[in-house]
Amino acid sequence: MLGLGYFYGIDMTYIILVMPALIFAMYAQNKVNTTFNKYRTVNNRHGYTGAQIARKILDMNGLQNVIVEKVSGNLTDHYDPKANVVRLSDATYSSTSVAAIGVAAHEVGHAVQHAEGYAPIKVRNAIVPVVQIASYAAWPLAIFGILMSFSSLTNFGILLFGAVVLFQLITLPVEFNASNRAIRTLGNNAILDNEELAASKKVLSAAAMTYVASAAVAIANLLRLLSLAGRNNRD
């Protein structure tokens, strides 16, 4: 196990493992916000709205059965596979910005993934029920097991948190693929010109960084749990 512990009352596992990941996550979130805000004022030359582009790309892929709806909030865009709905936020739905076009095309990319049976998204969806439980129960179970020197409970908590890490890792190819589909579709069909496409790509790249950061935070916390459990066993 990792030989980390306390130094003058300071939990070094948190300082060395988790804090750098959290700083990276804050940077990534700030990056996506500033990049989106920068390009939300740059309109595409055709005057397409995010909703129009979502509908256009869905129809191009034979997904006339998928609905496009507006949802409140900022950057709350998502595809709901259960309802078969692409939901676009206030900042995307009616906007003609290149940022909104990129985000709309990205969310449609998820709808296409589902329609095609894209393997990583099928795996991610399969473990969602476990992850929903694990995200709440893993840490309390593991810490309680450590405090009570109940190794079986600790290991179970660590196993559950491993599912959270797996979910974050599987999310990476899912998100990268959706962005690649979006950029390819927008470019190949001349929906955006080269300059507009470059701007949309910057927005999606910044968004992708937030998923990398989430995975980094999850991995750091798993390593911290392993370190705490290992130190407790030695003690």
Dump pLDDT digits (tens) for 132-161: 999 999 989 988 888 888 889 999 999 999
pLDDT at 2: 37
pLDDT at 8: 39
**Residues 6 or more apart in contact with residue 151 via CB below 8 angstroms:** 145, 229, 233
Structure tokens at 210: 């937030």
pLDDT at 233: 59
Asked if 177 and 120 count as a contact pair (C-beta separation under 8 A), the reply is yes
What SS3 class is residue 47? coil
Name the pLDDT band for 170 (thresholds 50, 70, 90). Answer: very high
Tokens 């920068």 found at: 38
Nearest to 32 by CA among 203, 214, 176, 200: 203
pLDDT at 147: 84
**Residues 6 or more apart in contact with residue 42 via CB below 8 angstroms:** 97, 98, 99, 196, 199
φ/ψ bin of 43: left (φ > 0), alpha (ψ from -120 to 50), beta (otherwise): beta
Mean pLDDT over the full length of the chain: 91
pTM of the model: 0.88
What SS3 class is residue 11? strand
Residues designated catalytic = 107
Per-residue pLDDT reduced to its tens digit, 2-36: 344 444 345 677 888 889 999 999 999 999 999 99
pLDDT at 50: 97
Mean pLDDT of 77-92: 95
pLDDT at 4: 44
Mean pLDDT of 98-126: 96
pLDDT at 230: 76
pLDDT at 10: 52
Asked if 39 and 99 count as a contact pair (C-beta separation under 8 A), the reply is yes
